[in-house]
Structure 1
């Protein structure tokens, strides 16, 4: 796949990504994580910004390294929990698309900025 290809040009089904969620509908911690992504950090967890492999194939199929994952803190937990934002794109602070999962990659909603 060519560098800079959009999600619309991605290979394979976008299983589970037909649903959308606005930034305002994200949990408060998700809104904070989304803002940090757009600002380039700093992120509270060491694993934030690591490559997301899309092994579940719930997101459009893109080259390895396209997607990065970020933790959405869950109050009351001492570990990272199940909530994540996964973003894809060449420029981390200007992703082509971001997705929210509350169930550790079983399903995703595309984040829209409306």
Structure 2
């Protein structure tokens, strides 16, 4: 093999490796939403073909029935004070979809540790439609498998826990 052909082969292999790494990074875990094999795959939402898990119950009530935030240091927001698009997203989550974006329902990895620390696969994210935005925008709802719901308007820089009582 000539040195020129060898160089072309090396460059081709490196390009393939870079593309594979970029795809892995974009997907977070290296798996597409349809190839997830978690405990959530048996949920009604997954059975309906949406591929996104349906969280169990909204907000955690205490023994007295009052809502208790999962992290008292985190700000909370009344569900009724959220933008209408966020309330629409919460309704879609409760119904198990269908969601407007194929990435809705994927695992949220909490890399910045702005939500309470949980095991991998605990949180899932959903897009909140932003009127006038040409892409998914920066607004999201993130849910925990025990029913917690969080709102971020700034693409995960800050979160507020959603209080469903108000």
Normalised by the length of structure 2, the TM-score is 0.55
Q: Which runs of 4+ in 1 moved over 2 A?
A: none
Q: Aligned-pair RMSD on alpha carbons?
A: 1.6
Question: Which residue is equivalent to 1:22?
Answer: 78
Question: Which residue is equivalent to 2:121?
Answer: 65
Normalised by the length of structure 1, the TM-score is 0.79
Distance 1:43 1:21 in 2: 23
1:86 maps to 2:137: no
Q: SS of the counterpart of 1:48?
A: coil
Question: Which residue is equivalent to 1:10?
Answer: none
Distance 2:88 2:81 in 1: 12
Question: Which residue is equivalent to 1:99?
Answer: 150
1:110 maps to 2:161: yes
Q: SS of the counterpart of 1:87?
A: strand
State how many pairs are aligned. 96
Match of 2:90 among 34, 47, 53: 34
Look at both structures and tell me which one has the larger radius of gyration over its CA atoms. Answer: 2
Gaps of 5+ in 2: 1-59, 61-70
Write out per-residue CA displacement over residues 23-76 of structure 1, whole angstroms, 9 at most, x where no aligned residue.
Answer: 111101000001111111110000000000000100001011000000001000
Gaps of 5+ in 1: 1-6, 8-13, 90-94
Greater share of helix residues, 1 or 2?
Answer: 2
Greater share of strand residues, 1 or 2?
Answer: 1
Structure ranking higher on relative contact order (CA contacts 8 Å, 6+ apart): 1
